[in-house]
Amino acid sequence: MADPLATYPLARKWAEKFYAVKGWGALGAPPGSPGLEKRRTDALAAIGTIAVGRDFLPEVRRAFDGGIKTLRKAANDGTAEGDFDVIDADILALKNDVAAQGAIAAGRIAASAALATAEGRFKAATGLCEEGGLRFLEGKIKAARAAFGAAKDAATFDDARKLAAAFPAQADAAEAHARTFALWVDAAIVLLMQYPPGVDRDTADGNRIAARNAAEAKARAGDFAGAKGELDAFPGDAKAPDFTAAQAFFAKLNEYEANAADCTAALHRKIEGSSTYDKHAKTGKEAGLKNKNYAVGTQKLTDLLTWCLPRKDLGARLATYATAMERHQAYRDAVALMNTDQKAGRFVQALGQLDAIDNDPALASEKNSWKISSTLKGDRLKALLDRLPEPFKSRLQTAWDTHEDLVGKKDFAKAKAEADRIEKYFELEAVFPLKAEADAIFARSPDTKSYDYLKTYSTEGKAGRYANARKEIEAAMPLLRRLEVWLGDKAKAAVLLAALPPAPPDLRADLDKAVNDADAKAKAGNPEGAINDLAGFLKGAGYATILAEIEDWQAKDAALAKRHARVGKLMGDAKLSAPLDAALADARKPATDRLAYTESFLELVRHEAVLAAAQDFAAVRRQVMGVQGGILKAAKKDPAILDPAPATEEALDKAVKEAEALAQALKFAEAAKAFAKVRTDCEALARKAAATFEEKDQDDKTGLVSNAGHSLDRHGPDVSHPDLIRRLKTGTPPNNKTLEEKSYTGASSKFASPQDWLAGRQLAAEAAERQGIDLDAKSIMPPFDDKPIAADFTVDHGRPIDEIFLGLTKNRKQDPTTGEMVDDSTYESYQEMSGLTRAYVNFIWEFPVIKNVDWPDPKTGVVAKKDVKARDIDEYAKAWRIDKGHAADGPEMPPSIPGRWVMMQQYPVADNWDDVAKTYTKDPKGLIP
C-alpha cells in the first residue's frame, strides 16, 4: 500500500499539517499581553481535551496526534491574539474530525470482526464444498470484501458488516449440501456399475452428469434445496430405491471409517465375541462396494459399530499386555472376569477387572518390561542414544542390552532394575527440547538467567535424578516464557520513562516504583503478576497516550524494517539501496534521537510510500536484467532471435544501459519508467527467446519425446482460463494433441507475459550457476554420488507475474482392485488466485537413451530389447553395463555420464499465498533473492 492514509482523509489532513510544520525544536513565543496569554492558555486547555481513541488504526491515531502536536505548537508560538482565531477554529475542526473518525472506527471494527469470522468460515469451506457451493460462497465473500474495502463511513461499514455477518449461515448451508453431494457422488459411481455396459450404462451416466450439472447450477445461486432436488432426480428409474440404499451405505461407511481405529482396538482376540465381528468390516464393505447389496453392507457395519464402540477402552487396555503374560493364572482370571462383565454390558466394571493385573507388582513389572522392549526399541532408542553424551550413552546401551537379555530369559524380577534404569534415561527425551527452549530464552534475553528460575535442575541432573530435573524444568518453562515477556515490558517501561515529560515529577517516580515493585514479584517467581501489575498501573495512571505512541512506533518500525530488507534484497546493489537506508535512518531519528515517536511514526509512514515506489523500481529492473540475460542466452542457441544482428542486441543493450544509468544516478522513478518501457518493448524478443528454450528442451536428439519443454505450452501467457480449468478438472493439458493425452496437476497456472516467464527461467539459471551447476555441461564426471542431477529454485519477481487455479476437492473413482472409493487425479472444485509474485523453476539432468539394450523386466526378469531412457544414475549405469557386455549388476561404472540439463518445470507458486492480503505468509528455503 503506497499511502496507508489514502482511505482516511480526515486523518490525512492532520498528518499533512504536521508534515508542513518546520522547526519542531524551537522554543515557543515569549510571554505576551494578558489577553494573549489567556487565549493561549484556553487554547492549550482545549487541545488537552481532544482524546484520540485507541480504536483507531495506528496510522490514523498518529495522524491525529500529529494534528494535536501541530496545534499545540501553533498555540505556543502564537504572538498575537488574532492568531488564536485561526488556532481555535482548527482546534474545533480537529475535535470534530476525531469525533467523526470515532464513529467510522466503530463501524470499521464491527465490520472487520464480522469479515474475519467470514474469512475463517470461507477458508474452512473451501476444502469441503463442491463446485457450485464454492462459487456461491466465493461470490458472497468477494462482495463482503469489496464492500469493506470501499467503505468510508459508518453506514457503508455497517453495510459491509451485514454482508459478512450473513456469511457463516451461507457457509453452513453450502457445507451441508457438500456432505450430501459427496455421498451422492460415491453412491452414483457405484450404482453405475449395476447397469449393463453399453447403452444402458452410458444413458445412466449421462443422467448422472446432467443431474450433477443441474445441481451445480442451483448451488451456484445458493439454492441448495433446489440443488438437492436435482440430485434426487437421479437415477429416475427402477434403480431409485437401490440408489437411496447406496447413499445410506456410504453414510454408514463414512461413520465406520471415522471410528475404524477404535473398532480395530475393540476387536482384541481376548474379548469374547470379537471373532463374531472381526470380518464385518471386510464383508460389509464387500457387500456394498462389490456386490451392491447395500442393505447387508449397512447392517454389517452398523452391527460392527454397535458392538465395538463400547469395548474400545477394553481393547486398548488389553493391547498393553504382552501375549506372553497369558501364562499367568492371575492374568487369565482377570480376563475371564472382564469377559463376564463385558458380555453383560457392564463395560466400566469390565475395565476395572483388569486393574488386578496392573495392581499385581510382578505382573506390572513384567508388563512394563514387555512395553519397554516393544515400544522403546529401534528408532526411538537410536534417537536418544544419538543425542546422549558419554557416559550416559554407554550406560543406557548397557542397561538396554542387559534388559533385553533378561526379558529373553523371562527373568522379569531381575529385569525390573534395568527397566527402571532405561526409563530413567528416557526421562531425558522430554528434557532436551525444554532445555533447548530455556537456552534460547537465555540467549535472547540474558537477564532471564539472573532470576534463577532453574534452581535445582543442574544438581538433580548431575546426581542422576533425571525425573526430578525434568519435573523442575517442566514447571519452570511456563514461568520462564512469561519472564521473557515481563522483561520486554520492563524494557518498554524504561523507554517510556525516558520519554516522559519532566513535570510533574511524580509521573516518573510513580512509574519507577511500579516497575521496581513488579520486578520484585518477578524475582519471587511470579512473572505473570509482574506483567499484570505494571499493565494495571499503566492503564490507570495517565501514561496511555505516550505508551501508545511508543508501541505504535515500535510496531511500525519493525514492519517497515522487514519490508525494507526485502526491497534491499530485490535491488541487490548496495549503492542503490544506500539512499533508501539513509532515508529510513532519517525517519527513525526523531524517535531514536529525541524520543519524538509520533513525529518519527509519521516520517515512517512517508517512507512507506517511498519504499513501495522503490520496490516497483527494483522489481522491474531485476526482471529486465533477467529478460535481457535470457534473450542473449537463447540467442546463443538460435542467433536468429536477434535478427537483424547486431542492431537488435545493441538497441536492447543501449536501452538497458540508459535505464541503469538513471538507476545509478538514484533517479528511481525515472529509472522505473525506463525499465518498464524496456520490458514492454522487448515482448516480441522475449517471446522468441522463450520459444527457443522450449524447443531446444523438447528436442532431445534421441528420437524419443522429452518431458521437458512444455512449460510455455501449459503455463505460457497465451493459455486461456478455460484451458487452465479444463486441465485441473480433466487432466487434459492446454497443448494436448489428442483427448487421451493427460497431464494431471494440483494447480493450473499461467504467466502474465513472456517476459515474466523468461525472467524467471534466467534468474533461476543464474542461481544454479552460483551453486556451481553448469547448465551447458554435456557430461557428469565421477564420483557420481555427490553430483546433482536436479536443481530447483523459487524465484520471487517482487511484482505480480501470474494467475492460478488451485485444485480443492477432488473427483472420486472406484478402485478396481479393492472396490474402495478413492480420490481421482482430477478436481471437482478449484479456487482462483491472482497477483502471485513467485515462480518455481527446476532443472533436471536428462540422460541419453541407450538403444536396443537386453533389458530384464523388473517384475518377471524376462529379458527383451529396449531403448532405455534412464531416470537415475543407477539405471543409466546398468544399461551402459549391459550395452558394453558387462554383467547387469556388476561393479563397472561408465567413465562419465553424458546428457544435458533441461528446464523441466516453471510455474507460479501458490504455497503459503494469502490471496486476500496478496502476500506470501512464509518464505521457502533458498528463496531467490
Partner 1 sequence: MKIPADLIRHYLRPIVAGRGASEPDPMADLDNFNGDIREMRRRAAAAGDLSVLRLALVSLVMAPGGRLRDFAGTQYPFNDGDLEAVLRHALERAWPDDPLPDPGTELPVELADIPEDEWRAEQATDLGF
Residues making contact with partner 1 (CB under 8 A): 374-380, 383, 386-387, 389, 428, 431-433, 435-437, 439-440, 457-462, 469, 707-708, 741-747, 785-790, 792, 806-807, 810, 822-823, 825-827, 840, 842, 844-845, 858, 871-875, 904-905, 907, 910-911, 922, 924-926
CA 419 – CA 412 distance, rounded (Å): 9
CB atoms within 10 A of CB 20: 8
Q: Residues 6 or more apart from 509 whose CB is under 8 A from it?
A: none
Inter-residue long-range contacts of 517-521, CB under 8 Å, 24+ positions, other chains counted: 518/486, 518/490, 519/486, 519/490
φ, ψ for residue 716, nearest 5 deg: -70, 165
283 vs 743 by CB, closer to partner 1:
743
307 vs 451 by CB, closer to partner 1:
451
418 vs 460 by CB, closer to partner 1:
460
One-letter amino acid of 558: A
Handedness of CA 497, 498, 504, 508 (dihedral sign): positive
Tell me whether strands 810-814 and 849-856 are parallel, antiparallel or unpaired: unpaired
Beta carbon of residue 925, minimum distance to partner 1 (angstroms, whole number): 4
Beta carbon of residue 176, minimum distance to partner 1 (angstroms, whole number): 22
153 vs 874 by CB, closer to partner 1:
874
602 vs 902 by CB, closer to partner 1:
902
Beta carbon of residue 704, minimum distance to partner 1 (angstroms, whole number): 13
Strand partners, 747: 806
CA 265 – CA 351 distance, rounded (Å): 14
390 vs 593 by CB, closer to partner 1:
390
82 vs 746 by CB, closer to partner 1:
746
Beta carbon of residue 376, minimum distance to partner 1 (angstroms, whole number): 8
Give yes or no for a cis peptide into 58 (omega within 30° of 0).
no
Q: What are the residue ranges of helices labelled H in 221-319? A: 224-232, 240-258, 260-266, 274-277, 280-285, 294-308, 312-318
Q: Residues 6 or more apart from 879 whose CB is under 8 A from it?
A: 850, 853, 855, 868, 870
Opening angle at CA 811, ends 808 and 813, nearest 5: 150
Instruction: Give the single-character DSSP code of 288.
Output: I
Candidates 902, 901, 854, 858; CA nearest to 880 is: 854
Beta carbon of residue 412, minimum distance to partner 1 (angstroms, whole number): 20
365 vs 743 by CB, closer to partner 1:
743
Beta carbon of residue 914, minimum distance to partner 1 (angstroms, whole number): 15
One-letter amino acid of 679: R
Beta carbon of residue 814, minimum distance to partner 1 (angstroms, whole number): 14
Beta carbon of residue 383, minimum distance to partner 1 (angstroms, whole number): 5
C-alpha grid cell, residue 105: 472506527
Beta carbon of residue 49, minimum distance to partner 1 (angstroms, whole number): 48
φ, ψ for residue 176, nearest 5 deg: -60, -40
Beta carbon of residue 839, minimum distance to partner 1 (angstroms, whole number): 12
Opening angle at CA 746, ends 928 and 140, nearest 5: 100
* CA 913 and chain centroid, separation: 8
Task: Write out the DSSP string of 33-71.
Answer: -HHHHHHHHHHHHHHHT----TTS-HHHHHHHHHHHHHH
Beta carbon of residue 789, minimum distance to partner 1 (angstroms, whole number): 6
- The three-state secondary structure class of 823 is strand
Rounded to the nearest 10 degrees, the angle between the axes of helix 412-444 and helix 361-375 is 60
Instruction: Give the single-character DSSP code of 917.
Output: T
Beta carbon of residue 450, minimum distance to partner 1 (angstroms, whole number): 17
Beta carbon of residue 428, minimum distance to partner 1 (angstroms, whole number): 7
515 vs 833 by CB, closer to partner 1:
833
562 vs 925 by CB, closer to partner 1:
925
355 vs 889 by CB, closer to partner 1:
889
Strand partners, 840: 794, 907
Beta carbon of residue 707, minimum distance to partner 1 (angstroms, whole number): 5
540 vs 858 by CB, closer to partner 1:
858
347 vs 784 by CB, closer to partner 1:
784
CA 765 – CA 291 distance, rounded (Å): 56
303 vs 867 by CB, closer to partner 1:
867
CA 98 – CA 104 distance, rounded (Å): 10
Beta carbon of residue 441, minimum distance to partner 1 (angstroms, whole number): 11
CA 910 – CA 659 distance, rounded (Å): 32
CA 675 – CA 690 distance, rounded (Å): 20
CA 186 – CA 823 distance, rounded (Å): 10
Give yes or no for a cis peptide into 478 (omega within 30° of 0).
no
439 vs 892 by CB, closer to partner 1:
439
Beta carbon of residue 448, minimum distance to partner 1 (angstroms, whole number): 15
377 vs 721 by CB, closer to partner 1:
377
Handedness of CA 760, 766, 768, 770 (dihedral sign): negative
The answer to whether 245 and 160 are in contact (CB under 8 A) is no
770 vs 922 by CB, closer to partner 1:
922
Beta carbon of residue 200, minimum distance to partner 1 (angstroms, whole number): 30
Q: What are the residue ranges of helices labelled H in 78-198? A: 83-126, 131-150, 154-165, 167-192
